[in-house]
Every structure is written in C-alpha cells, then in structure tokens.
Structure 1
Amino acid sequence: MSTTGQKTTHPKRQESTIEGDLPPRERLVRAASRLFYYEGVRAIGVERLIAEAGVTKATFYRHFASKDDLVVAYLLTKDAYYKEVAEPLAAGHPPAEAIDLIFEAIAEHARERGFRGSPFLNAAAEYPDVDHPVRDLVTTHRNWIRTLFQDLLTRLGHADPESAAGALLMLYDGAMAAGYLDDSTAAYETLLNAVRLIRSGG
C-alpha cells in the first residue's frame, strides 16, 4: 500500500521521462500527489506545481480553476487507491479475516519508506473550514471507511456494529498517526490486538 499509489521512495524526479508522455492534467495530479503529501498543501504554490509538472500556467488553469481544485483531484486519487486496496479484501474474505487484513495492510503501509501519515488527515489539518470542498471530501472518505467496517461487523454478527465501526475508525486514524510518529513495528501487535478485541465484541 502506498500513499502515492505509485512508488514508495521519496519524490524525486525519477519518473520525469515517463511522466513527460502523460497528459498535462495527469502530470499535474502526480506532481501534486508528491508535493502535497511530502511538503504540505499550504507550502506548495501554483508556480512550484507547474514547474514540477512541466506545464504552463495557462495549462494549469485550463484544467483547474484554482489550487484547491487540484487538492480535491489529488485526494480523489488517494480515495480511489485506498478503495482499490480495501474493497477486494472486504469482498474476498470472511468478515473477521477481512478486518484483520485491512489493518495489516495499514500497518505495512506505515512501514513504507517516506510514509507521512494519512493524506486525508493531513489535508484536514490544513483546511479548518468544515464547509470547504476539501473537508467535504475528507468526510466522505472517512464515512466510506466507517461504512466498510460497519458492513463487515454486521456480517460478522457483532452486537453493536455501528459503535464498533466508529471505534475501528478511530484505530484506523490512530494507526496512520502512530505509523508516522512512533515505532511502527512496536505498535503493530498493539494495533491488531485492539482490532481483534473490538471486532469480537470485547
């Protein structure tokens, strides 16, 4: 699992030759994915984005009305990527195993070189206005995670799948933060033990 959905190395220009063949919009989204995740949304201006993507300012504004629109596009790619990882696990395994596998994927994700936490929580911290489109997208993504867990817990026959799904969502958020701030290996067993306790109704 990789937050960029591409490589797990620090974002250099290794892919510049390949990306030069991509459409301008895709180059902008890929540049945003690297820069926003590793350096922060507010730290990156339009000039830096167009330089990284190798496009003109006119091309930028042909595809995006503002930098915030590019932030939304960047987060949509992350939303799609996380769904590509989690939804097959949920559909292809018994519910208890699926929950464990999703959290094992998170733990493995946190061990990746260059991991900087959740792109959604990072973006939310930079957009305090809860009515902003970026925050709307963050909320939508987190609601998807909660619903995914609730559906699995319902299939499992949990006595209170709604509350347990909320608890698993908090663990999901915490795992993203702990993987960045703490020793991810040391936190791994603690995380999975807590997940198993919640899903078993303990």
Structure 2
Amino acid sequence: MNDVTPTKVSEPRERLLATAADLFYRDGIHSVGVDRIVAAANVTRATFYRHFPGKEDLVNAYLNLEDATIRGFFANIPEGATPEQILEGIIEGIANDITYNHTRGCPFINAAAEYPDATSEVRKTVTRHREWFRQSLQSALEAAGRDDAAGRARTLVLLRDAALVGGYLDGVDTIRDTFMTAARATAALPA
C-alpha cells in the first residue's frame, strides 16, 4: 500500500503561473504588473500574495517552469538510446523548442537583460539553469566519446542562444536548419 499523499495542486496558483509565463515571455517582465496578471488570471490580489510573496517570486517560478521544459528534452529521450541518439534527440528538442515554443527569444536571456544585477535571485536562477544545461550537454558529449566535450558544450549553448535570438529576429524557418547543421557539426554527428 502506498502511503504517499499526492501533492494538491492549487488551481489558482497554476493559473497565475501560466498567465504570468505567457505575459512575461510575450511582453517582458518589467512591463507586466501584478495588477495585470491578477486580472488576466481572474484571481484576487490576496490570492496572488498567498502563493507568491512578491513579483520576483513569480518571476523565479516562471523561470523554473521554463527550466523544466528544457530539462524535458533530456528526460524524453527513449531509454536505451545510444549516445549519438541522445545527442541527436537533444539537438532536435532544442530545434523544436526554437521552432514551436520560444519564438520570441530565450526566456533566460530576456530575464537576464531585465535583471542586470548578477546577485539578484532572478539572475541566480538564470545562472543555475545555464550551468545545468551546459553540464548536461557536456555529459552527453563525454558519453558519446567526443574530444573537448566542455568546449563543444559551450559552443552548443552559444548556438542555442544565437538560434533563439535569430529565430525571433529572422524567422524560425531559416534558423532551424542552420542551427541543426551547426549543432550536428559541433557534436560530430552526421549532417
């Protein structure tokens, strides 16, 4: 018998987070006020503050939601995949994210631009995500036996950053193929 009680999900909290995620990504964090989020999520200010002591707490929750999406690229690779298939799956996941989810740039870069103080909690959240992402790429490259896995991982992070910005500015149609070609070459995968 399983004695673990499932964690109750607060529907108003989830609605606040989903609303904020949409508004922050589309319109920018600083340009979206708490009143606008509360109205769009159809909750009271008291409900907002019960779940998020302040706007920065909501911003961090939004970035953690974005982080979970990226981590999903790694988690959704089929069990038993070869190291090359894992690399290909990661690159394909990033390309799909650029094409379908993040068509207005990188949410982490966007947040960092709005929070220039590197000691702020928001910037610490951005840094933790980027460190995890880079290390995960490095581990996948090491598992595939690639030389200079750390350098290749840094290059893949740079390519992702550039592709997210380029997709927004130039359109995802041309950027996807360019990203896939450059990322495969960096990971030493067949073209």
**Length-normalised TM-score, structure 1:** 0.81
| CA-to-aligned-CA distance 1:135-186 (integer Å, 9 cap, x gap) | 1111111111111110111111112111111111111111111111113222
Q: Partner of 1:112 in structure 2? A: 100
Distance in 1 between the 2:92 and 2:36 partners? 36
Residue equivalent to 1:76 = 64
Q: Which of the numbers 3, 15, 27 marks the counterpart of 1:39?
A: 27
Amino-acid identity (%)? 42
Does 2:35 align with 1:60? no
Which whole-Å CA distance do the structure 2 matches of 1:92 and 1:82 have between them?
Answer: 20
Return the offset for 1:95. 2.2
1:92, distance to aligned residue in structure 2 (A): 4.9
1:79 maps to a residue whose letter is D
Match of 1:148 in 2: 136
Distance 1:189 1:124 in 2: 27
Residues 132, 51 of structure 1: alpha-carbon distance in 2 compared, 3 angstrom cutoff: same
Amino acid at match of 1:81: T
- Given candidates 160, 170, 188, the residue that maps to 1:172 is 160
SS in 2 for 1:89: coil
Deviation beyond 4 Å, 4+ runs, structure 1: none
Where in structure 2 are there 5+ consecutive unaligned residues?
1-9
- 1:125 — aligned with what? 113
C-alpha contact 2:134 2:153 (8 A) present in aligned 1 = yes
Q: d(CA) in 2 for partners of 1:120 and 1:114?
A: 11
Residue type at the aligned position of 1:48: R
Against the structure 1 CA distance between its residues 90 and 161, is the aligned structure 2 distance closer, same or farther, given a 3 Å change threshold? farther
Give the corresponding residue for 1:50.
38
Output the CA distance in 2 between the equivalents of 1:43 and 1:91: 43
* Contact kept? 2:137, 2:153, Cα under 8 Å: yes
Match status 1:182 vs 2:170: yes
Aligned to 2:183: 195
**1:4-26 CA distance string (max 9 Å, x none):** xxxxxxxxxxxxxxxxxx62211
CA distance in 1, matches of 2:65, 2:16: 12
The answer to whether the 8 Å contact 2:73/2:94 transfers is no
Mapped partners of 2:99, 2:90: distance in 1? 15
Corresponding residue SS for 2:76 = helix
Query: Using the alignment, how far apart are the partners of 1:91 and 1:72 within structure 2?
Result: 31
Deviation string, structure 1 residues 68-93 (Cα, Å, up to 9, x no partner):
11000111111112212333328652
* Aligned-residue offset at 1:113: 7.6
Q: Note closer, same or farther for the CA distance 1:84–1:108 as it changes in structure 2 (3 Å cut).
A: closer
The number of equivalent residue pairs is 181
Secondary structure in structure 1 of the residue aligned to 2:117: coil
